[in-house]
Amino acid sequence: MSFLVAAALALGAFVIAPVAAHLLRRGRAEEQEFPPAHLVPVAYRSARKKSRLEDRWLLLVRALLVFGLAIVGAVPFVRCSRLALDRDAGASVALALVIDDSLSMRTRVADADTRWEVALKGARDLLKSTREGDAVGIVLAGAPARLALAATTDLGVVRETLDKLKPADRSTDLRSAIRLAESSLKALPHVDKRIAVLSDFADDSGKLPDHALWIPLPELRQPSQNCGIAQARKEGLRVVVNVACTSSQAGKDRTLRLVAAKGPKPNPGGAELAKLVLKPQAGPQRLELELGEAAESVDAFLSAGDALPEDDYAPVAEVERAILIGVVADPATAAAQEGTATVLEQALNALTATSADGPSGEVRPLPLIPEDEKELAAYSAFIVDDPPGLSPESRTALEAWMNAEAGFAAAFLGPNVEAAQLGGSFEPFARGALTWEATTATSIADPTGFLGDAGASLKELAPRGRLQLAGALIPNSETILSWDDQSPWMLKRRVGRGQAWTFGLPVSVAQSDLALRPGFLALLERFLHDAAQAKGERVSDAGTTWRLSESDQTVEGPVGRLEATAVRNEEKTGSDRHVTPDLRGRYRIAAGNGDFHERIVTLDEAEILSQPTSIAETPLRKTTSRGPPSVEVSREFGLLLVALLVGELSLRLVSRLRLRNQNPA
Amino acid sequence: MTKALKSQLDWGSLVPLRLKAQTIAEGIWAGSHRSPRKGSGIEFGGHRDYVPGDDLRWLDRHALMRHGKLMVRQFETETDRTLVLLLDASRSMAYSSKRAPGAKFAFAALLAAALSKLALAGGDPVGIDWLGGDDLRPLKPSAGRETFDRLVDILEASTPGQGPDEAMLGRALARVARSAARGSVVVLLSDLLDLPGTTAEAFAALAAHNRTLVAVRVLDPVEAEFPFDEPVRLRAAESDAIVETDGQTARQGYLEALEGLARHWDEQLVPRGGRLVRATTTADPIAVVRDVLLALESRST
């Protein structure tokens, strides 16, 4: 505190002055001449009493005025702790508020508010200090990072958006959020652009972008003790629960209970099925429990005892079977070596066996394309290589399967199209008479857009021929990839909940080296991923978007019904309905006919374990100096002083009028 | 000094006295016949000292030779109507509230001028004397047109000052007794507030020699009504004593005390044929002068 501050604040001591003046004057009415005063009876006591009551307000106002002057004298040295924007020469500011809505932000801090509530309050405080001309945008840092509001100068909209924000159980994606904030500010004309990050920085995603960040609210980054259930799975009567604790202290005296679930809402009071005491150890631990009796639906609960109770509950998911992939390929032409599996099977096996992140599944070779829908019901994906046409029965079965079961079918069409049997056709992949033609085109144009870096290998295919798909497009087909002469090579078409993918080359290495390219594996992986997603994974992380089928009507979650959002589909032929569950728990998706199926939303184990990062220990420190987390209060105090002055004058005026009415002398 | 004091007195809208007094007199005359007396009296009523302005026809050369000073003969018809104005010039008479058109002294001076005008117009001599004040000049009774001018000059040059003590009061009343011959009219213009306790009795004593006494109590409206509701600190004009009180609580007591004072004057004057006329400075001066004349008429009947 400088001398000036001390001197200014010492002015506050002058509050004593009006008090002393009041005490001296207290009870004394204004003196006036009155010749017959000797005839007036004395009524001293009641006069004093009335005067005291009347003067009290004036005393208060005067004391406040002196105090206010002292504070104004100390400004800008005196600051209050509310967050506010510090302006350079009063210029307008473009501000991106990065608000972390991950699970860790639901941790309670010292004064019983959660980090999320503290962050929201900080955001509102910042908003209060904005003024006309400032642009404010909101980015949410729960994974995946989202732009909640593009930067706008309409501060009312910003306020409304802040009011609508809700906490979530997502994992953290600060890195993407900051990049998103950067890009949202890029187009704005403001010179002064800032990114305020309201987060606990409990994020293991690596180094944050090297951008000038403002990181206020250090109370968000206080460490806390936490144990939480990441996932719980059931196989028969055996339940495996993954629990994570930040420290051994957090896991001490904690009990895991399994109870019978009842609907989407957590049911901690349900019948207890099993119980186990946690080991007091830091990090993840896998707990296995045996259910005493069979239960259709089970919830896992951890006894209370940490700062984040939201992760002490998890619905137990049934272990999901791997997706089944049907493959029809002629071993005689499509096998790499005689007597071995076809290239297609080998590729699919490789994908489903080795990919950690990709879909797990089982590849089942089929001699023929099934002609009954029921035969296909067990499959999630079906791939046919160089078929000599599809019989009407097969065609009907495939379309019904795609419609009803959200099946994904792919056809690699080759020279056999010219050997199509009588009555056979290639629908639902292509229509009309297809021709296999010689070609000079050697590469697929721009495959990386669809397949990523691996798609670059499709630029040199050296095919011996190709299928001419230009005249074979079924309405609502979309050309995804083309030859370098613009002739279509890959088509995609929605068929009900499923899709039909068509390729203008067979897998056979005798026709092209497609199967030898990494792009081929990328193609299959994309296909299987989309197929698995359409079929519906039963377990997903919080924040994962679900696409609802046409028959899905409502989604009921732990905190009530979720509203679906209509999003235009990829083919731009209509719109899909999406929901994004933010909170962990059991979700019931009901069809119009009363049937329903359940999905389970789980937590990211890393999100439970991650602790707030101390900013002082990160490289961000050097870039966080934009403005102090404080606000000048001169304007507020100035206005207060004016109000007090008006109050004093009003009181005086009222007193004078009363005196004039009562005392005409 | 005089100018400074004069500037302190709130004359308000009561000046110029000449014109205002003329207006009041004309208001009194309106509707009544104008009957100033003409000629001399028929019954000798004694001598008195000559004062400038007296009709030289009544200068008595025999008395000059006998006493060595100028004296005039008086007749009964004239001496009956001598008007002696006794003005209270104590400090309290300088009081003026915001509701009043001027100070009590100014109002009393206006009444005195108006009464003088009326008396002089009737041929009656008029004199003036003071209760209190600082070295104020009395005017012996005389008639004639110039008397009014001299009287107004004296009034306009006068300002209230020190209040009369017992001795001063005695001297002033003795002067009045000397100048007011038998049958004279003595009009006291005062607020009756800061006078010595025996003033009423001493004034009433002037009723001897068939004198007619009228006391006009002139109060400021604030003094008459005591319109305070809140706590007040009141400072007396003469003694600087301060009274702290609550207006609402004290009003009744004050008004009773004021009325008690007036009743005391009534008790002293009425048995001697005198009257007390109550007036405030906001009252119509014409009405007040008429009240004074009515009081005089009731005495003569």
CB A259 within 8 A of CB A295: no
| Per-residue pLDDT at A627 | 45
Q: How many CA atoms lie within 13 A of A466 on its CB side?
A: 26
Q: Which two tokens stand for residue B71?
A: 């004296």
| Per-residue pLDDT at A367 | 87
Q: How far apart are CA A492 and CA B232, in angstroms?
A: 99
B42 burial via Cβ count (<10 Å: 0-12, 13-18, 19+): exposed
Assign A64 a pLDDT band (cuts: 50, 70, 90). confident
Residue A340 region, left (φ>0) first, then alpha (ψ -120 to 50), else beta? beta
Q: How far apart are CA B126 and CA B142, in angstroms?
A: 5
Assign B199 a pLDDT band (cuts: 50, 70, 90). very high
Question: What does R_g of chain B's alpha carbons equal in angstroms?
Answer: 20
Single-letter amino acid code for the residue at B107? F
CB A249 within 8 A of CB A225: yes
| Closest partner CB to B237 (pick from A33, A46, A659) | A33
Nearest-neighbour CA in chain A from B108: distance (Å): 16
Nearest-neighbour CA in chain A from B282: distance (Å): 14
User: What is residue B186's three-state secondary structure?
Assistant: strand
Q: Which residues of B133-162 are buried (b: 16+ CB within 10 A; e: fewer)?
A: beebebbbbbbbeebbebbbebbbebbbbe
DSSP B54: S
| Closest partner CB to B222 (pick from A43, A659, A664) | A664
| Per-residue pLDDT at A376 | 87
CB B138 within 8 A of CB B128: yes
CA proximity to A421, closest of A458, A448, A393: A393
pLDDT at A397 over 50: yes
Q: Using the beta-carbon criterion (under 8 Å), do B230 and A662 form an inter-chain contact?
A: yes
Single-letter amino acid code for the residue at A347? A
Percentage of chain A lying above the pLDDT 70 cut:
82
- Identify all chain A residues contacting B232, using CB atoms and an 8 Å cutoff: 29-30, 32, 34, 47, 663
What phi, psi does B211 have (nearest 5°)?
A: -80, 150
pLDDT at B7 over 60: no
> Number of Cβ pairs closer than 8 Å across A and B?
123
Which of A268-272, A295-299, A311-315, B33-37 is predicted least confidently? Answer: B33-37
Other C-beta atoms closer than 10 Å to the C-beta of B84 total: 26
First to last CA, chain A: 54
CA proximity to A601, closest of A143, A140, A99: A143
CA proximity to A240, closest of A292, A288, A277, A276: A288
| Closest partner CB to A41 (pick from B95, B230, B245) | B245
Which of A296-305, A391-400, A621-630 is predicted least confidently? Answer: A621-630
Element (H, E) at A56: helix A44-74
Assign B216 a pLDDT band (cuts: 50, 70, 90). very high
CA proximity to B96, closest of B31, B18, B13, B35: B13
Q: How far apart are CA B83 and CA B116, in angstroms?
A: 8
Q: Which of A25, A26, A33 to mutate to test the interface with B (most CBs of B within 10 A)?
A: A33
Peptide bond into A144 cis (omega under 30): yes
Q: Which two tokens stand for residue A326?
A: 């049907």
| Closest partner CB to B241 (pick from A38, A48, A662) | A38
pLDDT at B136 over 80: yes
**Minimum Cα–Cα distance from B251: chain A residue:** A40
Q: Using the beta-carbon criterion (under 8 Å), do B223 and A35 form an inter-chain contact?
A: yes
Concatenated DSSP letters of A408-461: EEEEE--GGGGGPPTT-B-TTT--S--EEE-----SEESTHHHHGGGGGGGG--
pLDDT at A610 over 90: no
Q: Using the beta-carbon criterion (under 8 Å), do B99 and A32 form an inter-chain contact?
A: no
Residues 6+ apart with CB under 8 A from A467: A413, A414, A417, A434, A435, A436, A437, A504, A505
Q: What is the dihedral of CA A477, A483, A487, A492, to 10 degrees?
A: -10
Q: Which pLDDT tens digit goes with each residue over A570-593?
A: 656 677 888 999 999 999 888 877
pLDDT at A621 over 70: no
| Per-residue pLDDT at B190 | 94
| Per-residue pLDDT at A583 | 92
Q: Which pLDDT tens digit goes with each residue over A4-54?
A: 566 666 766 666 777 776 666 555 566 788 888 888 887 765 555 555 555
Assign B201 a pLDDT band (cuts: 50, 70, 90). very high
Q: Which of A40, A54, A658 to mutate to test the interface with B (most CBs of B within 10 A)?
A: A40
Q: Which pLDDT tens digit goes with each residue over B242-254?
A: 888 888 888 899 9
Peptide bond into B16 cis (omega under 30): yes
Q: What is the mean pLDDT of residues A601-618?
A: 76
pLDDT at A486 over 90: no
pLDDT at A233 over 90: no
| Closest partner CB to A662 (pick from B227, B249, B261) | B227
CB A140 within 8 A of CB A176: no
Q: Which two tokens stand for residue A103?
A: 């699970």
CB A577 within 8 A of CB A548: yes
| Per-residue pLDDT at B24 | 75
| Per-residue pLDDT at A589 | 87
User: What is residue A623's three-state secondary structure?
Assistant: helix
Q: How far apart are CA A163 and CA A120, in angstroms?
A: 9
What's the predicted TM-score (pTM) here?
0.47
Q: How far apart are CA B279 and CA A325, in angstroms?
A: 122
Q: What is the mean pLDDT of residues A426-454?
A: 84
Collect all residues from B whose CB is shorter than 8 A from any CB in A.
91-92, 95, 97-99, 191, 193-194, 220-223, 226-239, 241-247, 249-250, 253-254, 257-258, 261
Q: Which residues of A79-106 are buried (b: 16+ CB within 10 A; e: fewer)?
A: eeebbbbeeeeeebbbbbbbbbbbbbbb
| Per-residue pLDDT at B5 | 38
Q: How far apart are CA A405 and CA A414, in angstroms?
A: 27
Which of A146-155, A161-170, A329-338, A433-442 is predicted least confidently? Answer: A329-338
Other C-beta atoms closer than 10 Å to the C-beta of A241 total: 24
CA proximity to B158, closest of B4, B1, B6: B6
Nearest-neighbour CA in chain A from B115: distance (Å): 26
**Minimum Cα–Cα distance from A38: chain B residue:** B236
